[in-house]
Structure 1
Amino acid sequence: MQLSVRLVPVGETTLVIALTGELDSTTRPVLAAFLDPLPRSPVKYVVVAAADLWFCDLNGLQQLAITHQALRGKGGHLAVAEARSPLRRLVTLMAEQARPSIPLYTSMPEALAATGLESYETLLPRRHLPRLHAVRTVPSTAVRDRPRIARDPDADGGRELKEELDQAHEELQQINRALTARSIELDEVTRLVSSVVRSLGDAVVVLNAELRVIVWSRGAEELWGVGADEAVGGAFASLDIGLPLESLMPCLRAALAGEIQGTVLEAVNRRGLPMPLAVRLSRLRTEDDEAHGLIMAMNVVGPDASPGR
């Protein structure tokens, strides 16, 4: 899930935030990085352009509500414009819980008119932010008679805020790219380890020093019909599988003590058929050569040597 954020200052105290993507518990911190500094800035009004916000859950809406409440404290508000019907319903439900209601507007001109703007021009062309709009003047004497403040480019707090937020957004994007790369690397390592384990034998089980299962291969699942989610973490001796544990467990304890030896067992597969099984044991070692478990590779012996047969 991804969330794209675009900032467009459109007045001395008004900021448009265009959201694209999905806003939930995963992407909420991205939006929070932009919204949290606003109550301490000159910005009083925030208009969220939500036409391209495909999904928003309660986590995302709570972040918007927090900023709305903070801006109300300085005489402003956060409003949502062009929201899709699920988000409008969510905002309505939140309002019914006696929380400060986030204003909803069907269009950007309407939302910006409520901030006292007569017109605005976007800095970043977006589908839901055309280049120039004429905005209907709010029929309020206070708004019409509001004195116009000359903008000083050298002391433009909104411009400085945008630069800071752009920098924070770029840092978050870099972190996201790094996490994505690490995730891809981890997937590749997982596939490699799975391939190695599969190559060791028809079934491979890794046990810790207490003889609890820490790896249960796909072959072991096919051989005895017990899934990894059931086996991993449990005591090997407690598994209900077709192994003669009374003869195997002494071999495992001896292997932990350093007496490595292989054996052939008369096992039973998941269909209840007899199955000679060659067991090869290896000690699991740390980098300093300390043994802390066992690797048990098992191969079906005989002409029909296929797991699960």
Structure 2
Amino acid sequence: MTTAPLLLQISDPHFGTEVPTAVRALERLAREHSPDVVVFSGDITQRATRQQFDAARAFADRLGARDVVAIPGNHDIPLFQLGARLLSPYGRYRRAFGDDLEPVFESDAWLVIGVNTTRWYRHEDGEVSTEQIERVAERLSRARPEQVRLVVTHQPVLVTRTEDEKNRLHGREDAVARWSAAGADLILGGHIHLPFVRPLQGAFTPCPRAMWAVQAGTAVSTRLRSGQPNSVNILRRASSMGMSRRSCTVERWDCAMGDDRFVRADVKELLLDDAALSPSLLMHSSSIPSFRGADR
């Protein structure tokens, strides 16, 4: 039996505020599912200290994934050490996760393009430049037809609550329009610690094809919001055998405070190639009861 290619999205772990039981639970989840690639969508640390980056790097290594794609979040730039923020804002990040702040991962199933949306002169807000938009679009244009094409930003392009509107990515309108035309399927994000999957087609004009915002919650941190537990996303590339369209599933896995494992809480199946159907017909959602006996 062939296992579907799998991607694990981890966002906002905020090492320095991590919950040890959630860390161990997430390591266990990764060992059980053996993802092809782990994507860190920013805010890997709380205050960008060496100790926090060392802990985060050691954690990433323990996940045992074949590849890791990481981008910085606003918390990954020193805040109170102004000299480091001005002169070497990504020095500690690079020491832990490498010099490439906008990595690209490619396999038969996935094309993952990282975008550094942080700026040393911004405290929380993120932005994407014209040059970044065009770089991503050019790489998307060279994707293979069978690949699921993902762009990773830290700040979200879409939010679901009025109080989060101030956290949206600056430059998002141009980015969504250009990346949609270039063939993007999903934009993965974090920052607001609120997991959801929503269609971008209809929310942005123009957005000529089916494209989705996939937001992750905070993976292992005490910095929980809106009553949400720690959570991560697992994306599975559906087999193309017998199918005329590409699709993938997005699974949300939750770990309640004090629990010792992540359990699957929600599954959404996304059709990726249709532009004519309404978003409601392109996404099938099913909730999974979050009881401890599930997915052991």
**Fold match by TM threshold 0.5:** no
Q: Rg larger in 1 or in 2?
A: 1
Higher relative contact order (CA 8 A, sep 6+): 2
Structure with the higher fraction of residues in helix conformation: 1
TM-score norm. by structure 1 comes to 0.31
TM-score norm. by structure 2 comes to 0.32
